[in-house]
Structure 1
Amino acid sequence: MSLIRNLLAVIGALTLIALLVAAIWLGPRLASFDPEFLPTYSTFAANLLETGDPGGAMMWSVPVEEGLSPEEVIDSLKSLATTHNLLYVGESPFYQQVEAVTGEDYRYVNFLSFCDAQVGKMMLEYRNHYSGFMPCRIALVEDREGKLWLFSMNLDFMIYGGTELPEALKLSAIKVRDTLFGMMQGAAAGEF
Structure 2
Amino acid sequence: MFLISLLRNILALIGLAAVVAAGMMYPQIKKFQTEFDPGAFNAYKELVKNVLETGSAVDATTWKYKLEDGVSIDDAIQSMKIAANAHNIKHVGELPLYKEVEAMTGKPYRHAQIFMFCNAVTAAKMMD
TM-score for the superposition, normalised by structure 2? 0.65
Matched AA of 1:10: N
- Aligned pairs for 1:4-83 within 5 A: 4-34=3-33, 36=39, 38-78=41-81, 80=82
C-alpha offsets along residues 61-109 of structure 1, whole Å, 9 cap, x if unaligned? 444212323233223334x258636544432211111222232332221
Change (3 A) 1:76 1:5: same
Compare relative contact order (CA 8 Å, sep 6+) and give the higher one, 1 or 2.
1
Q: CA RMSD in A?
A: 3.3
Uncovered stretches (5+) of structure 2, i.e. residues with no partner: none
- Aligned pairs for 1:1-192 within 5 A: 2-34=1-33, 36=39, 38-78=41-81, 80=82, 84=86, 87-115=90-118, 119-121=119-121, 123-124=123-124, 126-128=125-127
Change (3 A) 1:89 1:41: closer
Task: Measure the CA separation in 2 of the matches of 1:121 and 1:41.
Answer: 20
Uncovered stretches (5+) of structure 1, i.e. residues with no partner: 130-192
Deviation at 1:49, TM superposition (A): 4.0
Query: For the Cα contact (< 8 Å) 2:84–2:117, is it kept in 1?
Result: no
Answer 1 or 2: which has greater helix percent.
2
Matched AA of 2:25: L
Change (3 A) 1:92 1:30: same
Deviation at 1:4, TM superposition (A): 4.3
Matched AA of 1:104: K
Change (3 A) 1:4 1:47: farther
Answer 1 or 2: which has greater strand percent.
1
Deviation at 1:19, TM superposition (A): 1.0
Task: Measure the CA separation in 2 of the matches of 1:88 and 1:37.
Answer: 22
Residues matched between the structures, number: 123
Deviation at 1:58, TM superposition (A): 3.5
C-alpha offsets along residues 47-70 of structure 1, whole Å, 9 cap, x if unaligned? 344444433333444442123232
